[in-house]
Structure 1
Amino acid sequence: MTTNKICRETFIRLSHEIEQQIVGQQALVQRLLLTLLCDGHLLLEGAPGLAKTRAIKTLASGLEADFHRIQFTPDLLPADLTGSDVFRPETGSFTFNKGPLFHNVILADEINRAPAKVQSALLEAMEERQITVGAASYPLPPLFLVMATQNPIEQEGTYPLPEAQLDRFLLHVRVDYPDKNASRKILQLVRQEALNSLDHQEAPVLTKVTQEQVFTARREIMQLHLAETIEEYIVEIIETTRNPAQYDQELSSWIRWGSSPRGAIAIERAARATAWLAERDFVTPEDVQKVTSDALRHRILLNYEAEADGITTQQCIDQILINVPAP
C-alpha cells in the first residue's frame, strides 16, 4: 500500500468515525472534511441543537492540531481574538501576547453575535493568514481554519456578517433536521454516552490525522486531473451569476449581485476534494454540482423584489445549474 493511499484511507476512516458520533448529518461531516482538505473556512447555519458545535469539536479531536473555541458575544473586543501588546515594567518595553486566533482550528461559536469591529479582526486572519497589531504583523500557523456557527432563528442581539467576510468562507452550509431514523439513533447514542459517563468509561478515540497528512492530501488534491471542459463549466456557472440576463430573464429579475472570483475557486477546490474522497483521480461534472450550492449560497445577493416574492438563493442556484449545460 502506498503512502498516498494510506493518507486517503486515513481521512475516509476518520469520516466514518465522525459519522458514528454525528448521527444523521453525513452531508455536514463531508463538508467539514472538504473545508479541511481545501485549506478553507466554513460557516455552518442551522437551528439550535443540530450538532453544529459538536461536529466541529469532533473533527478537531481527530486532528493532531491545536483547537480553541471562541464564544462570540456583543461585548467581545478585537484584542480578545488577535491578542495585544502588553507593557512589561521590568524591561520598559511591550511584549505581544498572542490571542486565540493563533491556534490551528478555531471554532467561532455564534459568530454573528459579535459587532462589526470584532468581525473586521477576522478579515486579515482568514484571507492573509496573519495578524497585524500596531506596527507589527505576525504569521498564523500553516494549518489554520475558522469554522463558524450561526443561528438563523434568533435575531435579537445579532449582527449580519459583512459581505467581505462572508466571501472569505469557502462554504456556507445549511444544517437541516435529522430524519426519524436518525433521531432514534441520536436517542440511543446520547443514552449510551450518559451510561459511559456514569461508569467512568472514556469516549472512543478517533483516528488521528497528522498535519503532515493534511498537507500531503492537499497537494494530491491540487494535482488531480481537471479537464478543460470542467474548468469552463465552473467559469460558466460563475458568469451566470454576474450576467444572468444572457442566460435567463427570470434569473436576471432575481439577482442583484453575483459571485466574486472566490466562488469559482471554492467550487473547483471543493469538487477536487470530493473526487479525492471518492478515490478518483479526476473531477466530474457531478462533483461540481454537489458543491455549487454551498460554495455560492453566501456569494449571491438577491434584489429586494426577489426577497419580497420569497425567492431564495437556493432557487437561483438550482436555476443556474439548469441553464448551464454540463459537459
Structure 2
Amino acid sequence: MAELTLVEAVRSALSKALEEDPAVVVLGEDVGIDGGVFRATDGLWQHFGSGRVLDTPLSEAGIAGISVGLAAQGMKPVAEIQFQGFIHATLDQMANHAARLRNRTRGRLTCPMVLRAPYGGGVHAPEHHSESIEAIFAHIPGLRVVIPSSPQRAYGLLLSAIRDPDPVVFFEPKRIYRAFKEDVALDGEALPLDKAFVLREGQDVSVISWGAVTRDCLEAAEVMAGEGVDAEVLDVATLKPYDAATLMASVRKTGRCVIVHEAPRTAGFGAEIAARVAEEALDGLVAPVRRVTPPDIIPPLPRQEQLYLPSKDDVCTAIREVMAWQ
C-alpha cells in the first residue's frame, strides 16, 4: 500500500504494465528522457530503456498511427497526447482504424492500444490546454472511453485499459493530478471497466459525474447533508460503454438526478445520460433532470476559468432546485 497522488498512480500502473508484459510500450512527446510534461512517465525511460519508453516527434497523428500499427502486430502501445486540446489530429486514426480494426478483419486482428491524455481546466493553462471533449470519442463505436477521478481508480482502471484487447481512450483530469493523495494497493489488481462507482450512498438525489468535478460533487454532498439532504454521488468512470444499470437504479431510488460535467453543455455526455433517464426512469422522477456544466464557449484564459468551471456551489444550487420539487 502506498499513499499516492493521481499522477503517481498513473505512473505506477504504467510501470506495473511494463514490468509484467514485454508487449507493452509507452510512447509520446517527451515521455522518455523528460518524463512527460506532467511527469506521469518520470523514471520509466531510465528503468525500462528506450526500447520500451519511446520519445516521438511532435505529431499526434503519427503517434496514434504508429500505435495502431504496433497494436495490429501484437504489441500493446500506451500512447500519450500531451494535452487533450491537441488530440483532434488523432481522430482519423482512432475513428477510422483503431475503432474498426476488429470489425474490418472479422476478428483476425485486434487493436489493444491505450491513448492517454490529460484533460480539463483549473490549472491556469493557455489556449488548447483546458478542453473537455470526451463526448466526441464516446460517440465513436469501437472505442472505450475511461476517466478516473481518484488515485485508486486511476491505477486500477489504467491497468484494465492496458490489458483490454480493444482500443481505450483514457482521459486524466489534470486539475486533480496532485490535489490529494489516497492509499493505493500496488498489487497489479485491476478495476472493472464499464462499471460506475457509488462513492457516497444517499436517498434524496442522485449526483452523477466523472473526472475532476467528482470531487466537487462529493464536497457539495457534504454541504447538503448539513441542510438535511442525503445525496448519492456516482462516478461514471467508463463513459463508453457506460453502466446505465447502476445509474438508473440510483435515479429510480432517489427520484431526482443532477448531472455534472466539465464539458460544454450542448451534446455533452450528460445529455446522453439525461436521455437514458427519460427513457428508463421517467416514472420514478419527482423533479426534472438538472445539468451543471460550463456554457457553450471556448474555455477562457486563466483569469476567468473559475467563472467557467462548475463548482461545489453550482452543484449545491442544482441540488436545492431539484429538492424544491415535491
TM-score, normalised to structure 1's length? 0.39
Which is richer in helix? 1
TM-score, normalised to structure 2's length? 0.39
Rg larger in structure: 1
